[in-house]
Structure 1
Amino acid sequence: MGEVLWENIIVSILAFAILYFLLNKYAFGKLFAIMEQRRELVVSQLDEASKTREQAHVYVEEQKQALNQARQEAHEIIERSKQTSNKQAEQILELAKEEADRIKVDAVREIESEKTKAVAELRGEIGSVSVKIAEKLIEREVKNDQAQEELVDQYLKEVGGRS
């Protein structure tokens, strides 16, 4: 072990230099190019993933806004429906009230008409009863006041019983 073989060291250095030169000329360029392509691919994939994540975030926000808008529109539709149904209920009640008032007016008018007819009939009957009393008075030729009072009482009873 003592001796260093300088010839072997020089040959090894020369072989290493030739190998380095050949690798540099034929292999390192392609290897570094492949590594650079791989690095660019990884960078582009990271950029694309970042853009996709941002797009997903934007999409999620848009969907949230669309959902909120849909909820708001649904709420507005429900409110409009409530207002419409309230207005319809009020209109129905108003129409019912008007119909009830009309029926009431018609009933009052009919009652007045019947009352007028009844009064006319009563007057007619009173007239005929008065004629009958007069006939009876003439027939009897009542001479005392007591008999006249009895006829008037009888007449009042007849009229009172018919009304």
Structure 2
Amino acid sequence: MSNKWLELLNNDDYIGIKKYLKTDGDISEENDAGEGILACAIRARCSFDTLMLLIESGVDIFDFDNEGVSVFDIAITYDNREMVKYLIEHGRDVNQTSRKSGFTPLMAAACYGRAEIAKILVENGVNQNATDAKGFSAADFARKMNKKSVLKVLKYDENAPKNTSYAR
């Protein structure tokens, strides 16, 4: 990704981005990890207006990087509730994962303690019992990371059998 894009995104320069898009800003650029412009903008904590400018300019809202980390995953990681809601409203399946490990959006919310995002996912029909390639659920991740606020959202039963085979 060009230094110009990085500078504009890191400064959340809406006007600069708008001008760059009209001249020689390539909306399909990626960084070394394969992250697109929108993912980088979310990571840089750009305003929702800037994110919408990029979306209206044609970035792929369903994009993911070389590891399978999607724009949706990054919005969850960076606690961007507005973008999470937007993506769901525009067809993002809350149960879909593009990661080989099977790590789901709800698992990401659990790991990062994103209780409000976990609520949004639950309200939109997320499968709370989905497991990753190693058999861990979102509740397992929330328990391991001590994210009690997420466990409440998941209505976790303290007496449920626990998956104790965590890698150390």
**Alignment TM-score, normalising by the size of structure 2:** 0.16
Which structure has more helix as a fraction of its residues?
Answer: 1
Relative to the length of structure 1, the TM-score reads: 0.16
